[in-house]
Structures are given as structure tokens and as C-alpha cells.
Amino acid sequence: MDESTASPRMNQYEKGKHTPDVQTLKLIADELDVPLNYFFCESESSAKLACIIDKMTEDEKRVLLEHVSKTKLDIKSE
Amino acid sequence: MDESTASPRMNQYEKGKHTPDVQTLKLIADELDVPLNYFFCESESSAKLACIIDKMTEDEKRVLLEHVSKTKLDIKSE
DNA sequence: TTACTAAGATACTCTTAGCCA
DNA sequence: TGGCTAAGAGTATCTTAGTAA
């Protein structure tokens, strides 16, 4: 992002005057070291999970996916 | 979304001519029964996890968060 | 009918300039 | 200085009208 315009733009986003497009959000996400989907999580816990998942390897994510799928089934069968 | 304009708009999104804003994406997400952040996940496994997490209760998410936090620590300590 | 596209109308953001604390 | 805002310039999407399959 061009530094000469970053300040007004960030202010406009924060104050709700304008909304950044996805490309801009990606720059901000990278800067904050969070995944892009972090901004679209609807709960604090989902957002935290998104951050952790983002840092996982594909293998770790696959294992977790199996784990939560089983958990879901267990809950349903109870 | 207004039905009279939905068809051209969806086509323009699919063909990459235009990109929908977040408000529109939310409507599409609700229609597809996926969370909004689904569209911004950078891997298939993250996207699947996002869907499952979205359907969890706050308690379930909290438990999962503790679980993955521990897992992370275990991996680091190994 | 359904899928798709062009192009003008419309509405948005970005940049500049500048104010306020 | 740093935070913030107004307003025009610039650029995007939305709607209409219409073509193709």
C-alpha cells in the first residue's frame, strides 16, 4: 500500500466510511500475521481457531479434520 | 438479491469480470449454507474445518480451541 | 429458456488537501 | 505531528438490453 495514502484509507476503514476490497484486506492480513479469513469469522473463538489452523501443515489439518468429524458424529449419536 | 439482476451478476462473478462485495458474499454464503469466511480459506482442509467450526456451539469451539492449543504445544516441545 | 456479455448508469473507493487535537 | 475528514477524481460494480446456444 502506498504510504502517502495509507493513513486516510485506514481511517476510512476503521470509521466505517469505506470498506477495503479483498486485495487490500490481504495486505492488511499479511501485515497483522493473520489469515485473510480471520476478518470474516463470526465469533472470537472461530477467529482464534482460524489463526491456529492457518499455521498448521496440511497433514495437521487433515488429522484435525478427522478428529472434529468424529467428535461431531459422537455428539450426534449421543 | 434482486432476481432480475442475479443471473448477470453471478455470471460476472464466476467469470471473474467483477468481484462481489462482502454484503453480497454474505447473501451467497447463507444461500450455500457455508460461513462467510469459507470463501477466504486458502486450502480445502481449512475450508472444510471452517464449515464444521461454524456449526459448533461456543462451548464446542472453546473445547476445540483448548485441544488444538495443547496439540500445538506438544508439537513444539517435541 | 438458460447462460452469458456489452456498455452506460450508478455507486463505490482513493487521493489530495487541509483541519483539529 | 498524528489522527482524522471532505470532496472531487478515478474506478469499480449493477442494471438494462440483447445475443447465443
Measure A23 CA to D11 C1' (Å).
15
Residues 6+ apart with CB under 8 A from B1: B9, B24, B27
Q: Is A76's pLDDT higher than 90?
A: no
Q: A26 is in which domain, residue-wise? A: 3-77
Interchain CB distance below 8 Å, A48 and B41: no
Measure B66 CA to C15 C1' (Å).
46
Strand C contact at CB of residue A26, distance < 7 A: no
Interchain CB distance below 8 Å, A41 and B45: no
Per-residue model confidence as pLDDT tens digits over A36-58: 999 999 999 999 999 999 999 99
Q: How far is A3 from chain B (nearest CA, A)?
A: 25
For residue B9, give the nucleotide whose C1' atom is nearest its CA: D14
Contact A1, A24 (CB under 8 A): yes
Grid cell 499455521 is found at A55
Q: In this predicted structure, what is the pLDDT of residue B73?
A: 64
* CATH code for the domain of B25: 1.10.260.40
Q: How far is A30 from chain B (nearest CA, A)?
A: 13
Per-residue model confidence as pLDDT tens digits over A17-39: 999 999 999 999 999 999 999 99
> Nearest CA to B19 among A47, A20, A50?
A20
Strand C contact at CB of residue A74, distance < 7 A: no
Contact B20, B4 (CB under 8 A): no
* Measured distance CA(B23)–CA(B14) in Å, rounded: 17
Give chain A's mean pLDDT: 92
pTM value is 0.89
Per-residue model confidence as pLDDT tens digits over B18-63: 999 999 999 999 999 999 999 999 999 999 999 999 999 999 999 9
With 0-12 / 13-18 / 19 or more C-beta atoms within 10 angstroms meaning exposed / middle / buried, residue B73 is exposed
Partners of B46 on chain A (C-beta within 8 Å) are: 35, 37, 50, 53-54, 61
Domain total of chain A: 1
